[in-house]
Amino acid sequence: MSVTILVGGQWGDEGKGKVIDLLADRVEMVVRSQGGNNAGHTVVADGNEFKFHLIPSGILYPQTTCVIGHGVVVDPKAFLTELDHIHERGVTTDNLMVSDRAHMVMPYHPVLDKLGETQRGDDRLGTTWRGIGPTYEDKVRRIGFRVGDLQKPRFLEKKLRFVLRLKNESLTRLFDAEPFDEQAILDEYMQYAERLEPYIRDIYPVVQGAIGRGERILLEGAQGVMLDLDLGTYPYVTSSSPTAGGACTGSGIPPSRISKTVGVFKAYTTRVGYGPFPTELTDSLGDYIREVGAEFGTTTGRARRVGWFDGAVARYSVNTNGIDSMVLTKVDVLDTLATVKICTGYSWRGEEWDHPMANISHMKHCEPQYVEMPGWQEPLRERRRFEDLPRACQDYVAALEDVCGAPVDAISVGPDREHTIVRRPLV
């Protein structure tokens, strides 16, 4: 038996989708445990590109069970749209299930997300407007709707009467916005109930059964450690825990069953949305890396902010998640650069910091300390063995391992499955 957690080690979009897809045929089960359709995971299989938001990136393998765990927030409309898209492309989803305990995004959540952002003005977070924060808020406030509620129409109706009164009061009084109609929501969600029914499951026996049979399980992280509600650059974070700990609570798999934690890191750094980003490149080099790396959001299409590899962030991710194994992606994007830089820590008013600071203002104004190394200036896309990488690239990887304190066990040199160098098996 082996249970592997895979987390994003930076601010999301590290290439988790590609790595999950690579590993999914070596496991019996893939479980998503947090986040929602704020995620956008790209898989390129034999030249065919898929973008997954809620559906686990292991879905292309019919023999792999794909589970949406109870820690995920599910927008039923978005889920069904995604399902239709992948069915149109000939992918079967008989291997897919959704936890009855997962909370649902309700129609008022994206509206409140957008209104909340507008209200913040210049201090807005740059959320994806998918209603993720408001849905988790209601979960914590214990007025959320769970996927299993779709199977209990009378209960759903009674609860909605109470909850919608609160929501409509906020919408009309605080935001001067239109209220929602109870019957319209009920009709809409009862239609979803019918289509979702075959996927709704109590995942406890499913997941425990797999553990009991000694099967291999892969926990698919969404977002990244620096977007974690506690460990990230609060308040410029998401509303879940995209960490190894969050993977356990969101799936019901205990920490004692975890065999390994894999962290996916880009060879540089990107961030979508606002918030501090010490190694950000706001010059033409940043624009160049954005173009070469096609750094435009999978979910919202926004241009991603780009910067050098932040070793202080990466080491913090390794240490707070217990990352045993790193996967380094998009190394090919740096192919043409004459030199590459790695941030090893920050300097703030004469103080040296080896990890991200809680104080957002300090984090925003600190000075990153860099080591600069020669670039390799050769195309990497067709390289398949570590030994075949140019010396300067091997040195860059070794320097990252040194700064982060974990081994780089796989290197991605292009978006497709085949563009991968595996140094040591990941699962």
Best CA proximity match to 132, nearest among 99, 104, 154, 160: 104
Whole-angstrom CA distances from 210 to 28, 58, 62, 200 are: 8, 16, 16, 18
Cα 382–chain centre separation: 28
**Interaction partner, residue 91 (ligand IMO, Mg ion, ligand GDP, none; CB < 5-8 Å by kind):** none
Quote the tokens at residue 378: 């050769």
How far apart are CB 67 and ligand GDP at their closest, in Å? 18
Instruction: Output 13 or 75, the one with its CB closest to Mg ion.
Output: 13
Instruction: Output 333 or 357, the one with its CB closest to ligand GDP.
Output: 333
Instruction: Output 38 or 344, the one with its CB closest to ligand IMO.
Output: 38
Given a contact cutoff of 8 angstroms between Cβ atoms, the answer to whether 53 and 426 are in contact is no
Per rule CB under 5 A, is residue 295 in the interface with Mg ion?
no
Quote the tokens at residue 39: 């995620």
Residues 27-66: x/- map of binding to ligand IMO (CB under 6 A)? -----------xxxx-------------------------
DSSP string of 97-111, one letter each residue: EEETTSEE--THHHH
Residues 273-302: x/- map of binding to ligand IMO (CB under 6 A)? x------------------------x----
Instruction: Output 72 or 164, the one with its CB closest to Mg ion.
Output: 72
Per rule CB under 6 A, is residue 53 in the interface with ligand GDP?
no
Residue for token pair 């894999």: 262
Name residue 45's beta-bridge partners. Answer: 48
Name residue 343's beta-bridge partners. Answer: 310, 370
Active site residue 41: yes
Given a contact cutoff of 8 angstroms between Cβ atoms, the answer to whether 276 and 126 are in contact is no
Given a contact cutoff of 8 angstroms between Cβ atoms, the answer to whether 298 and 386 are in contact is no
**Cα dihedral sign for 413, 417, 421, 426?**
positive
Rg (CA), the chain: 22
Span from 5-13, 163-171, 350-358, 419-427 in contact with ligand IMO (CB under 6 A): 5-13
Span from 121-129, 200-208, 309-317, 350-358 in contact with ligand IMO (CB under 6 A): 121-129
Choose the catalytic residue: 13, 75, 324, 409.
Answer: 13
CB burial of residue 48 (10 Å; 0-12, 13-18, 19+): exposed
Per rule CB under 6 A, is residue 332 in the interface with ligand GDP?
yes
Among residue numbers 11 through 40, which ones bind Mg ion (CB under 5 A)?
A: 13, 40
3-state secondary structure of 348: strand
3-state secondary structure of 401: helix
How far apart are CB 264 and ligand IMO at their closest, in Å? 9
Per CB under 6 A, the list member of 130, 139, 146, 383 interacting with ligand IMO is 130
Per rule CB under 5 A, is residue 415 in the interface with Mg ion?
no
Alpha helices in 197-321 (DSSP H): 203-212, 244-251, 284-292, 311-321
Per rule CB under 6 A, is residue 126 in the interface with ligand IMO?
yes
How far apart are CB 361 and ligand IMO at their closest, in Å? 18
Span from 23-31, 165-173, 277-285, 328-336 in contact with ligand GDP (CB under 6 A): 328-336
Per rule CB under 6 A, is residue 55 in the interface with ligand GDP?
no
Whole-angstrom Cα distance, residue 411 to residue 201? 36
Per rule CB under 6 A, is residue 222 in the interface with ligand IMO?
yes
Span from 10-18, 58-66, 280-288, 315-323 in contact with ligand GDP (CB under 6 A): 10-18
Choose the catalytic residue: 21, 25, 41, 365.
Answer: 41
Given a contact cutoff of 8 angstroms between Cβ atoms, the answer to whether 397 and 405 are in contact is no
Best CA proximity match to 76, nearest among 113, 36, 115, 43: 36
Q: Which residues bind ligand IMO (CB under 6 A)?
A: 8, 11-13, 38-41, 125-128, 130, 132-133, 222-224, 227, 238-239, 272-273, 298
Q: Which residues bind Mg ion (CB under 5 A)?
A: 13, 40, 298
Provide the annotated active-site residues.
13, 41
Q: Which residues bind ligand GDP (CB under 6 A)?
A: 8, 12-18, 40-42, 44, 294, 298, 329-330, 332-333, 412-415, 419
